[in-house]
Amino acid sequence: MRELIRLLGIVMILQGLSGAVDHLAVQPLFGLFLNFFNRVILPRLDFLTGYELFANLILATLGGAVVIASIQRRAT
């Protein structure tokens, strides 16, 4: 279960960073998978209009927190 949570965190990090790169420039690598948050979720959230870059960076940060939490949970 911890490995699944860690994998989810890594995917969140990758999607957040890829979305930030896609927002600044074109991201051709795994665009459909890595930019899912940027292209499917963000357009449906009206309150994030104009803050797409920040939303992607927050997604990456939350993914990092999930990975760290899964590592800390394993250590205890």
Rounded (5°) CA angle 68-54-30: 75
| pLDDT tens digits for range 44-64 | 999 988 898 999 999 999 999
Can you give the residue range of the structural domain that contains 55?
2-75
Residue pair 30/18 in contact (Cβ under 8 Å)? The answer is yes
Ranges of the chain whose pLDDT falls below 50: none
What is the spatial distance between Cα 15 and Cα 64, in angstroms, rounded to a whole number?
12
User: What is the model's pTM?
Assistant: 0.83
Q: How far lies 20's CA from each of 15, 44, 69, 70, 73, in Å?
A: 8, 17, 23, 24, 29
Question: How many domains are there within the chain?
Answer: 1
